[in-house]
């Protein structure tokens, strides 16, 4: 242990107050050598200890670790992989320290937005407040215009799709226009499948933004800096607004938040831009916003329904018809306060007004199979005319005698045309008319027994001699 390392050891022991004699004895070197080193120290000689290179336990699997990092695995998963695949038993802190050497610090580039180019959206939890006698969880919805930092805030008690869109509507009307894009976190209310390159936007939310000519942009997962402006806005709400609140009343909190937004938040000197948000907004951003549509977006909720064997879907104790081709299939239902819209994927297949009663079947004739659709009176008349003059005369007389079920009888007579010729049915109607027997049974009997070919015999009454014909002939017309 001679050389520079020995000198460093001697210096250390001298600094601890050990005598030259003791150091000589402990290190096994002569007192003369100890004195020599001591004199060098006193002459300010610089002694640098030799760096001892120690091999780390993970050096042998360094390449494997870099490969796992490139695959996006976390330290926890890498530790598991090393144990199961390589038999390397190390603690998580050891792995965590080792992989730090391979991580390149991320460079953050300031995102400068043009006027009306972007709004950033997020929710922030504020705690529990009393609403209508109940203690409920309360969140703050926040949207910040990235150029001016002008912001809108409101309270919600849930984060579902309809609430999410309603907050957007309120903010757009607060701004008096719409930004070109809305940057959102991967909230379930807005994003079905998170993906940085092309996230799947929740259908109704996408349609909603399209209505306002706005486009959604999603943030990367666990990358709060992608929407840092609204993240800071939410923190500002918690640190500046919430700290002022000394009550638990939800409705008072709404009023307080509105006042704070208008009088403090949007009028303060912004810490980053060093400008006042409302002044920048009025000067350069307000006029650049997309104009609001003439009519507010109609809110609806989406549900899935299976069409029953009657060709109807159920909603709130009532049944609404859909085209018979969809019996047994599952359709999408969009529901507003007054309407039910039924879709096959994106194609609208029918529309109903919501019935306020219970237990009703709301059925449209065109949704029934053609052979079951109720025809109009004019359709019956036209078909009778097309069948022949005698069929038409039969129908007119039938309506007079049987005003409540003449359509059913005529449907039966029209169906006879599938068995007998048009001429035969028309002749049968003529004979039934002459014998004053207006029923489906009589016309069918005449066709079946070829009675339309027999000569007509009067059923008039001979006052002198009584009946001049056999009643059996009349019975034959009406017996089945």
Considering the domain boundaries, does residue 432 fall inside one? yes
- Same domain flag for 165 and 201: yes
Contacting residues for 87 by C-beta, under 8 A, at least 6 apart: none
Considering the domain boundaries, does residue 473 fall inside one? yes
Considering the domain boundaries, does residue 49 fall inside one? no
pLDDT in tens, 140-184: 999 999 999 999 999 999 988 888 889 999 999 999 999 999 988
- Same domain flag for 152 and 249: yes
CA distances from 385 to 289, 416, 438 (A): 65, 16, 17
Contacting residues for 291 by C-beta, under 8 A, at least 6 apart: 177, 178
Domain endpoint, select from 341, 371, 401: 371
Tokens 């242990």 appear where? 1
- Same domain flag for 71 and 217: no
**What domain count does the chain have?**
5
- Same domain flag for 448 and 465: yes
Domain endpoint, select from 261, 288, 315: 288
User: Read out DSSP for 50-75?
Assistant: PPPP---TTGGGHHHHHHHHHTT--H
Considering the domain boundaries, does residue 51 fall inside one? no
- Same domain flag for 332 and 388: no
- Same domain flag for 382 and 366: no
So what's the pLDDT on residue 3? 53
Contacting residues for 129 by C-beta, under 8 A, at least 6 apart: 135, 136, 138, 248, 249, 250, 253
- Same domain flag for 347 and 407: no
Considering the domain boundaries, does residue 111 fall inside one? no
CATH number of the domain enclosing 312: 2.40.50
Considering the domain boundaries, does residue 307 fall inside one? yes
CATH number of the domain enclosing 32: 1.10.10
Any idea what DSSP says for residue 90? -
CB of 289 closer than 8 Å to CB of 119: no
Spatial separation of the C-alpha atoms in residues 226 and 113, rounded to whole Å = 13
CATH number of the domain enclosing 122: 3.30.420.10
β-sheet bridge partners, residue 348: 343
- Same domain flag for 132 and 192: yes
- In 307-411, the DSSP E strands lie at 312-315, 318-321, 330-335, 339-344, 347-353, 361-362
Considering the domain boundaries, does residue 25 fall inside one? yes
CB of 308 closer than 8 Å to CB of 329: no
Domain endpoint, select from 288, 315, 349: 288
3-state secondary structure 335-346: ECCCEEEEEECC
CB of 426 closer than 8 Å to CB of 387: yes
- Same domain flag for 227 and 241: yes
Residue-range definition of the domain harbouring residue 344: 301-371
Picking from 153, 125, 115, 138, the residue whose alpha carbon sits closest to that of residue 230 is 153
Contacting residues for 378 by C-beta, under 8 A, at least 6 apart: none
So what's the pLDDT on residue 19? 84
pLDDT in tens, 180-214: 999 887 554 444 433 333 334 467 788 888 999 99
- Same domain flag for 266 and 408: no
Considering the domain boundaries, does residue 314 fall inside one? yes
So what's the pLDDT on residue 460? 44
Across the chain, what does the average pLDDT equal?
82
Number of C-beta neighbours around residue 12 at 10 A = 12
- Same domain flag for 433 and 397: yes
Nearest-10 Cα torsion for 90, 96, 99, 105: 180
The segments of the chain whose pLDDT lies below 70 read 1-5, 43-55, 104-111, 186-202, 219-231, 456-480
- Same domain flag for 71 and 193: no
CB of 190 closer than 8 Å to CB of 127: no
């Amino acid at each position: 242990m001679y050389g520079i390392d020995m000198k460093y050891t001697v210096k250390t022991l001298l600094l601890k107050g050990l005598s030259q004699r003791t150091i000589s004895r402990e290190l096994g070197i002569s007192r003369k050598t100890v004195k020599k080193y001591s004199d060098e120290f006193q002459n300010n000689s610089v002694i640098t200890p030799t760096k001892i290179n120690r091999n780390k336990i993970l050096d042998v699997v360094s390449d494997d670790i870099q490969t796992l990092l490139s695959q996006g695995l976390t330290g926890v998963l890498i530790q598991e992989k090393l144990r199961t695949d390589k038999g390397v038993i190390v603690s998580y802190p050891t792995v965590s320290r080792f992989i730090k050497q391979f991580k390149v610090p991320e460079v953050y580039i300031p995102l400068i937005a043009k006027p009306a180019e972007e709004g950033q959206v997020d929710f922030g939890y504020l705690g529990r407040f009393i609403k209508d006698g109940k203690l409920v969880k309360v969140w703050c919805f926040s949207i910040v215009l990235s150029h001016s930092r002008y912001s809108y805030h409101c309270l919600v008690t849930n984060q579902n799709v309809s609430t999410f869109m309603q907050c957007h509507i309120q903010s757009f009307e607060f701004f008096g226009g719409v930004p070109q894009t809305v940057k959102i976190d991967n909230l379930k209310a807005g994003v079905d499948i998170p993906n940085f390159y092309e996230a799947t936007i929740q259908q109704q939310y996408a349609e909603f933004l399209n209505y306002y000519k706005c486009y959604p942009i999603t943030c990367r997962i666990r990358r709060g800096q992608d929407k840092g402006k609204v993240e800071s806005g939410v923190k500002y709400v918690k640190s500046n607004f919430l700290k002022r609140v000394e009550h638990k009343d939800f409705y008072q909190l709404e009023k307080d938040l509105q006042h704070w937004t208008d009088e403090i938040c949007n009028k303060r000197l912004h810490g980053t831009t060093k400008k006042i948000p409302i002044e920048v907004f009025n000067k350069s951003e307000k006029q650049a916003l997309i104009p609001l549509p003439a009519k507010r977006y109609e809110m609806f909720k989406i549900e899935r329904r299976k069409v029953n064997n009657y060709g109807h879907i159920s909603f709130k104790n009532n049944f609404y018809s859909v085209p018979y081709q969809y019996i047994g299939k599952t359709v999408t239902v969009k529901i507003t306060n007054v309407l039910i819209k039924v879709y096959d994927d994106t194609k609208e297949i029918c529309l109903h007004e919501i019935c306020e009663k219970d237990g009703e079947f709301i059925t449209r004739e065109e949704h029934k199979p053609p052979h079951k659709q109720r025809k109009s009176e004019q359709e019956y008349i036209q078909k009778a005319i097309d069948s022949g003059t005698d069929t038409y005369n039969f129908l007119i007389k039938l309506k007079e005698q049987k005003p409540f079920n003449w359509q059913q009888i005529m449907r039966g007579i029209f169906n006879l045309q599938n068995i007998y010729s048009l001429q035969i049915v028309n002749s049968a109607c003529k004979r039934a008319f002459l014998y004053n027997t207006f029923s489906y049974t009589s016309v069918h009997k005449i066709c079946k027994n070829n009675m339309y070919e027999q000569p007509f015999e009067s059923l008039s009454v001979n006052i002198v001699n009584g009946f001049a014909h056999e009643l059996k002939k009349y019975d034959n017309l009406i017996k089945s």
